[in-house]
Amino acid sequence: MKQNQALFEYLLRLGDSNMILGQRLCEWIGQAPALEEEMALGNLALDLIGQARSWLEYAARVEDAGHSADELAFTRDERAYRNLLLVEQANGNFADTLARQYLFDQYHYHLLGALSSSTDAQVAAIAAKGLKEVTYHLRRSSAWIKRLGDGTAESHAKMQQAIDEIWTYSGEMFIADEVDRVLAAAGIGADLDPLQRLWEADVQALLAEATLTCPPLEQYMQRGSKQGLHTEQLGFLLAEMQFLPRAYPGASW
């Protein structure tokens, strides 16, 4: 695989995961358990969508096929998306959303930390800027995991159930393919092996502090997003997200 082709694919993965998770968080607007949480989740969504725009704008330049970031975001079919399976899962209850958010935040924090030293100046700049936001995201989701895990019997039970149910989608973050290997060898992308060790240590420590049981690290993990294979959740999300751009192509405010 040529390096330029690998970089385009890698940028789609980064942008798509942020965009889809941001879209999921937007679904809490008007439904969050408290006004403060509604505002916080909305701000997290804006951060992620802003980062997605940066990654997809760079992807459009690398592809050099006349596509814009908006076209990459809103006109691709489901099989062309490269977001992690983890982020496309439905919000569920508040504990489900927080479990999904924390597992991604912990990964995202280490990933952007590694990419901040990328030999690709644009990748390094986008990652360094995003890391400042993600540091806050991680601090917030970690605090909620501890608060609910070590809270009441009901909050503990719901938080444990949420972690157990989403866990099968977490391992995919560290399954490397040719794209990962080509870019890691060039110093552009992140080496996933050390990231996995950091993530596992941090997650185990946080869950222990929250009096929660960490699911087995060797548990079977779902995979497929790097090949465009997704759960049914993504199709429903894209149908709503892409309605206006597909119904009114080229429209502008």
CATH classification at residue 207: 1.20.1260.10
Tell me the helices (H) and strands (E) count for the chain, helix number first.
11, 0
Domain that holds residue 38: 3-247
CA distance 161 to 96: 8
CB contact burial 96-118 (16+ within 10 A = b; e otherwise)? bbbbbbbbbbbbbbbbbbbbbeb
| 113 domain-assigned | yes
Task: Indicate the pTM of the whole model.
Answer: 0.96
pLDDT of 61 reads 97
| 252 domain-assigned | no
pLDDT of 251 reads 77
CA distance 139 to 184: 28
> Would you mind telling me the total number of residues written for the chain in this entry?
253
| 253 domain-assigned | no
User: Nearest Cα to 50, choosing from 139, 133, 173, 117?
Assistant: 133
Distances (CA, A) of 85 to 70, 224, 229, 252: 22, 8, 9, 31
pLDDT of 249 reads 85
pLDDT of 252 reads 72
| 155 domain-assigned | yes
pLDDT in tens, the chain (253 residues): 799 999 999 999 999 999 999 999 999 998 888 888 889 999 999 999 999 999 999 999 999 999 999 999 999 999 999 999 999 999 999 999 999 999 999 999 999 999 999 999 999 999 999 999 999 999 999 999 999 999 999 999 999 999 999 999 999 999 999 999 999 999 999 999 999 999 999 999 999 999 999 999 999 999 999 999 999 999 999 999 999 888 888 777 6
pLDDT of 214 reads 98
- Supply the DSSP string of 36-88, one letter for each residue: HHHHHHHHHHHHHHHHHHHHHHHHHHHHTSS--HHHHHHSS-GGG----HHHH
Element (H, E) at 28: none
| 204 domain-assigned | yes
pLDDT of 35 reads 84
pLDDT of 79 reads 96
Q: What is the dihedral of CA 29, 35, 41, 44, to 10 degrees?
A: 120
What is the total count of domains within the chain?
1
